[in-house]
């Protein structure tokens, strides 16, 4: 791995409109901090790009000098791919503009924007596109891995709504990738992660959503899980695409609508978002209220922006995080029994299991239409280990790995690439399945030297 001389660092600094930070600079430690506190890396320099010219300059210097290059968008990636040891971090967080054309129903989004930035602009016009569930997540990383959220059953994955992307490729050129321009690159960007270049602008298709949706939480005691979850599984089969319900298994936070005696108890929470006319929401949600005897609920009309931020307090930056993930074609009774048992012995009150119910439009797209191939996944499970101190590492990581192993017999074998930890290099092929060979070919064409390798890497030599 190459290192830049101080002369080369100063030369790059003089070419930038943004900032260049080194370890002695006062802002360096803050700039290298990312969402997952388990990641503590020290790059040689951090380029805080102000625009495309800065991106081109940084990419050219990294390539010419053989410097390890990490790309930071929102800094949310669980494996810490946004930051590296000893190399260069290209930090895009200052590039966060979002421009909306309400007539054309299009959004142009820079790579430093978060979901909150996007929603703030798009919801001013009652528009949205499928994104994630945590408003501090970066749009760029989420999109490049495929992307899904509360709107995906109706409108597909995030990449199904990507119209074009401006990309700085490994040779320092700026190209536009779309269905008509660099179509192979455009195909690969839609799920292939940061392997093919630095996206400096995303163009998304927008849809009328909100500004109010009907949503909220219905919370059942964990001991009712063996009846509630199979009943939810049956309800899922007939849900309209406008209704999304995810199951969250964890300990109950001190939510104001729950009785105090329920706080800290293990629960099954049904997280609900209906994006059709809010006045129709109550009737559609009513069957979900009757799956058992809830501890409590908070369901009704609310701003879509509020629902997009509802889980933010549980996913704040600065905690230690470790994830494992599986895709499923269904929720087998054996899987449900295992999860209920494991939630009864969580090693930390912040550990949880998200079971995202997909289906709908996400399953109607051909697996080879985009690099994101997991079109048969009806449910995506994220085992979210989360805790505060290094002393808890072994217990919490061990719990996530044990549940992952126990769930494997029920799983499809594929995985959502954005949920992979950095240690899971052996699962990159599983993330792309039948699309992997084509991705390798595109990688050879656009990044034969594997400059963009600090990611879930698609090696051009594979």
Write down the residue that tokens 């209704």 correspond to. Answer: 243
pLDDT-derived band at 2, boundaries 50, 70, 90: confident
Task: Specify the domain boundaries for CATH 3.30.43.10 within the chain.
Answer: 6-91
Which one of 3.30.43.10, 3.40.50.300, 3.40.50.261, 3.20.20.140 gives the CATH number of domain 6-91?
3.30.43.10
Judge whether residue 172 has pLDDT over 80.
Answer: yes
249 within 8 A of 343, measured Cβ to Cβ: yes
SS3 assignment, position 104: coil
Task: Specify the domain boundaries for CATH 3.30.465.10 within the chain.
Answer: 98-209+434-446
Interatomic CA distance for residues 404 and 382, integer angstroms: 9
Task: Domain 212-419: give its CATH architecture.
Answer: 3-Layer(aba) Sandwich (3.40)
Q: What is the pLDDT of residues 244-298, one digit of tens each?
A: 999 999 999 999 999 999 999 999 999 999 999 999 999 999 999 999 999 999 9
Judge whether residue 1 has pLDDT over 80.
Answer: no
Instruction: Find out whether the peptide bond into 211 is cis, omega within 30 degrees of 0.
Output: yes
Closest among 334, 311, 297, 300 to 411, alpha carbons compared: 334
Fold of domain 98-209+434-446: 3.30.465
Output helix, strand, coil percentages for the chain, rounded to the nearest 5.
Answer: 35, 25, 40
Q: Which two tokens stand for residue 391?
A: 């002393």
Q: Model-level pTM?
A: 0.95
Judge whether residue 212 has pLDDT over 70.
Answer: yes
Query: What is the model's pLDDT at position 450?
Result: 97
Q: What is the mean pLDDT of the chain?
A: 96
């Amino acid at each position: 791995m190459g290192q830049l001389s101080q002369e080369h660092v100063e030369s790059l600094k003089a070419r930038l409109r943004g900032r260049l930070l080194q370890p002695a600079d006062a802002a360096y430690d803050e700039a290298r901090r990312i969402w997952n506190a388990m990641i503590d890396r020290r790059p040689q320099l951090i380029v805080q790009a102000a625009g495309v010219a800065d991106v081109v300059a940084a990419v050219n210097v990294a390539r010419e000098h053989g410097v390890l290059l990490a790309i930071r968008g929102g800094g949310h990636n669980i494996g810490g791919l946004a930051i590296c040891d000893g190399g260069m971090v290209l930090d895009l967080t200052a590039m966060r503009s979002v421009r909306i054309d309400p007539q054309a129903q299009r959004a142009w989004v820079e790579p430093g924007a978060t979901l909150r930035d996007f929603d703030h602009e798009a919801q001013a016009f009652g528009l949205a596109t499928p994104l994630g569930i945590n408003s501090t997540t970066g749009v760029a990383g989420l999109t490049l891995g495929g992307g899904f959220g509360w709107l995906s059953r109706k409108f597909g994955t995030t990449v199904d709504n990507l119209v074009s992307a401006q990309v700085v490729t490994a040779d320092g050129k700026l190209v536009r990738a779309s269905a008509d321009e660099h179509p192979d690159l455009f195909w690969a960007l839609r799920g292939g992660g940061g392997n093919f270049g630095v996206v400096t602008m995303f163009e998304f298709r927008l849809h009328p959503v909100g500004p109010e949706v009907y949503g909220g939480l219905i919370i059942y005691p964990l001991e009712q899980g063996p009846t509630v979850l199979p009943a939810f599984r049956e309800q899922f089969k007939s849900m309209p695409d406008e209704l999304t319900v995810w199951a969250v298994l964890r300990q109950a936070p001190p939510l104001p609508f729950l009785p105090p005696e329920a706080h800290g108890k293990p629960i099954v929470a049904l997280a609900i978002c209906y994006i059709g006319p809010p006045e129709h929401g109550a009737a559609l949600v009513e069957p979900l209220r009757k799956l058992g005897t809830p501890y409590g609920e908070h369901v009704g009309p609310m701003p879509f922006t509020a629902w997009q931020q509802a889980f933010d307090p549980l996913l704040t930056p600065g905690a230690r995080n470790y994830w494992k993930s599986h895709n499923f074609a269904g929720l087998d009774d054996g899987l449900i029994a295992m999860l209920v048992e494991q939630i009864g012995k969580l090693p930390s009150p912040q550990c949880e299991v998200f079971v995202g119910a997909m289906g709908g439009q996400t399953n109607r797209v051909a697996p080879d239409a985009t690099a994101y191939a997991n079109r048969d996944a009806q449910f995506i499970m994220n085992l979210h280990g989360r805790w505060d101190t290094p002393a808890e590492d072994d217990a919490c990581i061990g719990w996530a790995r044990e549940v992952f192993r126990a769930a494997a017999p029920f799983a499809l074998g594929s995985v959502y690439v954005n949920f992979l930890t950095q240690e899971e290099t052996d699962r990159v092929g599983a993330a792309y399945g039948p699309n992997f060979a084509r991705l390798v070919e595109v990688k050879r064409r656009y990044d034969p030297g594997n400059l963009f390798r600090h990611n879930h890497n698609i090696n051009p030599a594979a």
